[in-house]
Amino acid sequence: MSTFIQLTYFVAAVLFILGLKAMSSPTTARKGMVWAGIGMIAATIVAFIPSTATYAWQGDHVATNIGLAAAAVVIGSIIAWGLAKKVEMTDMPQMVALYNGLGGGAAACIAAIALLQGHAANYVQQSMAVLGALIGAVALSGSLIAWGKLDGKIKKSWQFSWIQLVNGLIFLGALALGAYLTSTIDLSGTHAVGQDTITLIVVFFAIALLFGVTLAMPIGGADMPVIISLFNALTGLAVGLEGFVLGNPAMMIAGIVVGSAGTLLTKLMADAMNRKISAILFKKFGGGGAGGDDSVEGSMKETDANDTAINMAYADRVIVVPGYGMAVAQAQHKVWELTELLMDRDVDVRFAIHPVAGRMPGHMNVLLAEAGVPYDIIEDLEDINPEFATTDVVLVIGANDVVNPVARTNPDSPIYGMPILDADKAKNVVVVKRGKGAGFSGIENHLFYADNTRMLYGDAQKAIGEVIAGLKAL
């Protein structure tokens, strides 16, 4: 039986890795999710085989604990299935942040059991348990704050002069208390954990949860894609550490895969914004106003749906730049309908996706895939940028910072040096926008004031619908 168990864990690990690899391409992402899901189901079922029972199941209540665990799996699966089926695509970032936080919370709960019941066989494992507890708790509370900001329940960023000093003191306090717990808890398992130690463990978790809150609260909305990815990496790391404590290969491998992939994605996202991860965590940017000279010359010039339809109908090449405004309006289906009409007129249409467009990594790709947009007309920043100069019309739908030319021209701008989509180099630009305000990061977009740019105000779904009507009337 032991050989079968270890073989199952090995197969699960292979499925995790193959699934992650398949997720790197939109054409195979669905297959990758299925493979990883099968691996997780297999690892979960094997965990219920008696010979794999962990320390938490030892004693006279093995059957009861297994029954409770099975009930929790069933109830959690039903709830998750129902919520996932109902969630709107615009709310997908919130769901990702919430579920990611729950993963960190689960790892923290495993650590709590390890600390209370003496699972660790030595001080190395005890240190792993404490570190996993800290990281998992931070991922839980931080992800919940990210969820609140993405969902609009938390409107402001928490900023004051000494915020980073306070964060540092909280973190050092958690580390010090964790180190004390590591050195004082009896590892022999012969003595029950005393009330004083239980109190210290509760205080330790409270401080760790507080640190997650104070870490995430100052971070503005523009940096949320990077932060979600970072907390995802922390959750994976916490799971991997607790897997080491429990001696569970599936947890170790799954945690390492998630942690390493999340870390790499965080680095790539930060590079796409030309920002250091430390700057995102410890400097104010996004959602709270920007520094530097933000003065704009000229004025925004309005257009209407009929003029937009004429310009696009007689163009040779059109590039569509989707942003969060398209997601909010759920306009992706209308955008694809417009694209099909233009293609029927032999217009070459491409979609340009910036790595940090939307509210999470790959947000725009998911929305376009839902609408049925073919993968072969969706281009990344590096591939599409050289084509803007020869493009007749660029249609920007709810995007802001990713097309802001001050990233190239104004050294005083907070986004200076950030790679952007070169929409301003096209012959004509039409921006679909709900109003005249600045974007999510609070930075004024100079593209909107350019001579070759026209503003089409209104809800994206309604505006694109009017453009479609105008196109059909030609």
User: Rounded distance, CA 375 to CA 89, Å?
Assistant: 18
* pLDDT value, residue 208: 94
Domain for residue 388, yes or no? Answer: yes
User: Residues of the chain with pLDDT > 90: what percent?
Assistant: 34
| Interval 434-447: pLDDT, tens | 876 655 556 788 89
Alpha carbon 309 to its chain's center = 35
Residue 168: which pLDDT band, with cuts at 50, 70 and 90? confident
Cα separations in angstroms, 227 against 101, 139, 181, 412 = 12, 10, 29, 24
Residue 286: which pLDDT band, with cuts at 50, 70 and 90? very low
Range with lowest mean pLDDT among 196-210, 257-271, 329-343: 257-271
Alpha carbon 369 to its chain's center = 18
Q: Checking phi first, is residue 29 left (phi over 0); if not, alpha (psi -120 to 50) or beta?
A: alpha
* pLDDT value, residue 6: 82
- Please state, rounded to an integer, the average pLDDT across all residues of the chain: 83
| Interval 120-142: pLDDT, tens | 667 788 888 899 999 999 999 99
Domain for residue 296, yes or no? Answer: no
The answer to whether residue 457 scores a pLDDT higher than 60 is yes
* DSSP-based three-state secondary structure for 452: coil
105 contact partners, CB below 8 Å, separation of at least 6: 136, 137, 139, 140
Domain match, 310 and 257 both: no
* pLDDT value, residue 88: 75
The answer to whether residue 195 scores a pLDDT higher than 50 is yes
Q: What ranges in 91-192 are assigned the alpha helix state H?
A: 92-117, 123-150, 163-184
Domain for residue 339, yes or no? Answer: yes
Domain match, 426 and 467 both: yes
Domain match, 77 and 110 both: yes
* pLDDT value, residue 133: 92
The candidate with the shortest Cα–Cα distance to 129, out of 222, 246, 50, is 246
Domain for residue 288, yes or no? Answer: no
Domain for residue 291, yes or no? Answer: no
Domain match, 321 and 212 both: no
Q: What ranges in 188-289 are assigned the alpha helix state H?
A: 195-216, 224-246, 249-272, 277-282
The candidate with the shortest Cα–Cα distance to 327, out of 370, 298, 376, 290, is 370
Domain match, 340 and 234 both: no
* pLDDT value, residue 118: 62
* pLDDT value, residue 287: 44
Domain for residue 259, yes or no? Answer: yes
Domain match, 335 and 465 both: yes
Domain end: 231, 251, 282, which one? 282
Token pair for 375: 């993968």
Domain for residue 299, yes or no? Answer: no
* pLDDT value, residue 317: 95
* pLDDT value, residue 321: 95
* pLDDT value, residue 83: 84
**Per-residue b or e along 435-465, where b marks 16 or more CB atoms closer than 10 Å to that residue's CB:** eeebbbbbbbbbbbebeebbbbebbbbebbb
Domain match, 346 and 232 both: no
Query: What's the order of all strands across the beta sheet hosting 317-322?
Result: 378-380, 348-353, 317-322, 393-397, 428-433, 453-457
As annotated, the active-site residues are 401
Kindly state the helix (H) or strand (E) to which residue 110 belongs, with its residue range: helix 92-117
pTM exceeds cut of 0.85: no
Cα separations in angstroms, 409 against 15, 417, 427 = 47, 9, 19
Q: Checking phi first, is residue 224 left (phi over 0); if not, alpha (psi -120 to 50) or beta?
A: alpha
Of 414 and 238, more confident:
238
Domain match, 61 and 191 both: yes
CATH of the domain at 399: 3.40.50.1220
* pLDDT value, residue 56: 41
Residue 55: which pLDDT band, with cuts at 50, 70 and 90? very low
| Interval 378-403: pLDDT, tens | 998 889 999 999 999 999 998 888 89
* pLDDT value, residue 60: 43
Range with lowest mean pLDDT among 27-31, 209-213, 357-361: 357-361
What is the C-alpha R_g of the chain?
Answer: 25
Report, as an integer, the average pLDDT of 187-199.
66
The answer to whether residue 119 scores a pLDDT higher than 70 is no
Number of domains in the chain: 2
* pLDDT value, residue 307: 94
Report, as an integer, the average pLDDT of 233-256.
87
Domain match, 224 and 340 both: no
Q: Judge whether 266 and 233 are in contact, CB under 8 Å.
A: yes
Domain match, 122 and 189 both: yes
User: Rounded distance, CA 205 to CA 138, Å?
Assistant: 9
Instruction: Please identify which residue in the block is written with the tokens 């839980």.
Output: 140
| Interval 357-382: pLDDT, tens | 777 777 888 888 888 899 889 998 88
Domain match, 83 and 189 both: yes
Residue 310: which pLDDT band, with cuts at 50, 70 and 90? very high
Range of the domain at 409: 305-473
Domain for residue 287, yes or no? Answer: no
Domain match, 459 and 335 both: yes
Token pair for 361: 């990594």
Q: Facing residues of 453 across strands?
A: 429
